[in-house]
Structure 1
Amino acid sequence: MRIGLRTIKTAVGAAIAILLAYYLHLQYWPTAGIITVLSVQNTTKASFRLVFFRIISTAIAFLIAVVSFRLLGYNAIAFGIFLLLFIPVADLFSLQDGIVLSAVLVTVFLIERSTSLYWLMNQTLLMVVGAGVAIIANLFMPNLEDRISTYQDSVEQSMQQILQLMSQQLQTPAAGDEREALIQESWENMSDLKIALNDGMAWTARHNENQLLSENDYYKAYFEMRNNQYELLRQMQTSIERIDNPLIQGREIAILLQATAENISASNAAEDLVSDVEALQEKFESSDLPKNRAEFEVRAQLYYLLSNFHQFLRLKNTFYTIVASQN
């Protein structure tokens, strides 16, 4: 059995909330613990948002409850009317998360047959104590940067392997099992890459939700850049599969792909590689026209491959220039 950090925070926080409510001489003091249990979230910002909306929800609930009970008496019908009015209002202002908790707090008015200032203050303080302890508990969050770094490593490893496989494909005859094996392995790595990207982006979003006073978009920008590169890699792989007989330009691209694989890390600006690809594009444009249809089709795919490859490197260069250099 594994006891996670959220479970520990919830248990300790609930106990502290109950003790605080008890020593503050609040009536129905165990309620503060329940409020804490319902308010501890997976991220710091989520906890703040939830507590904020629940405070608004409680204020609206108390206002409707006071009117309902004082007009209709402290009975089940009045409580039903209260819910009939409160739930649609909460839905209207997107306060659904506070409906149950607010209704529970209002039941004390029914039990005590009073909506006096004393009971309004008592229930409000229960909310403040329970929610306040939950917020404090959610300030203690694990550092997710190490976990995110593992996904960065996984992404870069998969990209390195894909680029190396692409380089090999461009230097392997189209006919034969070797080329097919390289293509299959490339797509398998592409699948692993997408999984690592999705997981990395999910953990990055969670990490950002725990940052209250500081904003650091590095990881978000990193995985967005890599995700865009992933889409380009898919197009590049498709182009390579359509090239039956690579020309001399194909071997030149293969060399650049291998060089990129060796410099895939985010700390590399890839400026030299961008220049090399641009030089190769100019060489393509100034070379002799294709001699036949087959060569034309190969040249077209190679040029499309090179264009996507250029964009692949430009994304990395832009990321390094704008984002990485600021961190």
Structure 2
Amino acid sequence: MKRCLQLGSWLTIIGGISLRIGLRTIKTAVGAAVAILLAYYLNLEYWSAAGIITILSVQNTTKSSFRLVFFRIISTAIAFLIAIISFRIIGYNAIAFGVFLLLFIPVADTFNLQDGIVLSSVLVTHFLMQHSTSMYWIINESLLMVIGAGVAVIANLFMPNLEDRISTYQTAVETSMKGILEGMSAQLTTTVSETEKAELFKQNWEILSDLKIALNDGMAWTARHNENQLLSENDYYKAYFEMRNNQYELLRQMQTSLERIPGPIDQGKKIATAMDQTADTLAESNSAEDLVKNVEDLQKEFQKSALPKDRVEFETRAQLYYLLNNFHQFLRLKNTFYTIVASQN
């Protein structure tokens, strides 16, 4: 019984640790081991360095890994050239290594190769330790770089599919927008006290804040997803979040206009109805074409209405018309997105 309890405790600990181990950690560990084994069985000197190169080359995205490896290979080639000249002229000593760094670091900075400075310098120390820059050692160090970097690149070809995660942010964005539009509709049609009105405003601004957070997170994960698409380019998610971000800016302006409208008015009820319809059909698959037409009809109706009777009514109508124009633009953005982007996917 005691052994069973101990076994259960160990399994719990191991399970907890495994939950903390991400895919990048697994790829780094496996990749480093594979790189070391390859270098060892190829009888390379300093074979453990291949594993270190792999550890330093595994990145969060596929494209970033390819870029890093490419620049590190260039950096290593430049470092070897400078090191060969330095060591053969000055000798294999600390002074020569210092001269190498004095020359190599500025060159690496000039060509934006800073990521390769440390790694290339470590490989150069092998020349120093062996007192040789013969072809044998140049090939040895080059193979260490190729194996370590190559294994890292292969490891980074295996990336998780982020589309499910991105879809959760799409859902969060659309849910927030639905809540905002419903809140705006309530503000246009509900007669409440000043305290209750202030609470409605506060709630909508809070949802707008949540919307912005979801948009930022969605755009960040979309950028990461695109960085993992090595052989194909798909800007759908990028276009989607850009469209929603532009809509967010319009919603902020619409909320500001609403707070300048003193209370429910007849024209506002028609806008509120259109907002409720929009809230119910926010999904990306909806073209919003009918909604655009409805709002355009409202705009024409407003233009034909009688002139305001006093200053207060004039200012109210101005804010309402500004609100309607922003709402029209909100719907046009969705319609354009559907026409140009969504219909192509």
Same fold (TM over 0.5): yes
Deviations for 1:235-266, whole angstroms, at most 9, x for unmatched residues?
00000010003321111101101110001111
**Counterpart contact for 1:174–1:244, Cα < 8 Å:** no
Identity, % of aligned positions: 76
Which of 159, 180, 191 is the aligned partner of 1:141?
159
Which of 271, 274, 277 is the aligned partner of 2:289?
271
**Counterpart contact for 1:173–1:244, Cα < 8 Å:** no
1:159-308 matches, within 5 Å, as 159-173=177-191, 175-308=193-326
**Counterpart contact for 1:10–1:40, Cα < 8 Å:** yes
Which of 16, 25, 30 is the aligned partner of 1:7?
25
**Counterpart contact for 1:242–1:301, Cα < 8 Å:** yes
Task: State how far apart, in whole Å, the 1-side matches of 2:341 and 2:178 are.
Answer: 22
Task: State how far apart, in whole Å, the 1-side matches of 2:62 and 2:164 are.
Answer: 19
Match of residue 110 from structure 1: 128
**Counterpart contact for 1:69–1:78, Cα < 8 Å:** yes
Deviations for 1:192-242, whole angstroms, at most 9, x for unmatched residues?
101100100010000000000111101000000000000000000000010
**Counterpart contact for 1:14–1:130, Cα < 8 Å:** yes
Task: State how far apart, in whole Å, the 1-side matches of 2:43 and 2:336 are.
Answer: 60
Task: State how far apart, in whole Å, the 2-side matches of 1:18 and 1:79 are.
Answer: 26
Match of residue 125 from structure 1: 143
Deviation at 1:287, TM superposition (A): 1.0
Q: Secondary structure at the match of 1:143?
A: coil
Task: State how far apart, in whole Å, the 2-side matches of 1:231 and 1:246 are.
Answer: 24
Aligned-residue Cα RMSD (Å) equals: 0.8
Match of residue 39 from structure 1: 57
Residue 67 (structure 1) aligned with residue 117 (structure 2): no
Match of residue 79 from structure 1: 97
Task: State how far apart, in whole Å, the 1-side matches of 2:62 and 2:130 are.
Answer: 36
**Counterpart contact for 2:188–2:265, Cα < 8 Å:** no
1:90-105 matches, within 5 Å, as 90-105=108-123
Task: State how far apart, in whole Å, the 1-side matches of 2:333 and 2:100 are.
Answer: 57
TM-score by length of 1: 0.99
Paired amino acid for 1:43: T
**Counterpart contact for 1:246–1:298, Cα < 8 Å:** no
Task: State how far apart, in whole Å, the 1-side matches of 2:29 and 2:112 are.
Answer: 29
Match of residue 176 from structure 2: 158
Deviation at 1:159, TM superposition (A): 0.2
Deviation at 1:61, TM superposition (A): 0.2
**Counterpart contact for 2:189–2:265, Cα < 8 Å:** no
**Counterpart contact for 1:32–1:130, Cα < 8 Å:** yes
Match of residue 13 from structure 2: none
Residue 309 (structure 1) aligned with residue 336 (structure 2): no
- State which drifts further: 181-190 or 56-65: 181-190
Give unpaired runs (5+ residues) of structure 1. Answer: none
- State which drifts further: 176-185 or 225-234: 176-185
Deviation at 1:41, TM superposition (A): 0.3
Paired amino acid for 1:185: Q
Task: State how far apart, in whole Å, the 1-side matches of 2:207 and 2:259 are.
Answer: 16
Task: State how far apart, in whole Å, the 2-side matches of 1:149 and 1:285 are.
Answer: 41
Deviation at 1:174, TM superposition (A): 6.0
Deviation at 1:181, TM superposition (A): 1.9
Give unpaired runs (5+ residues) of structure 2. Answer: 1-16
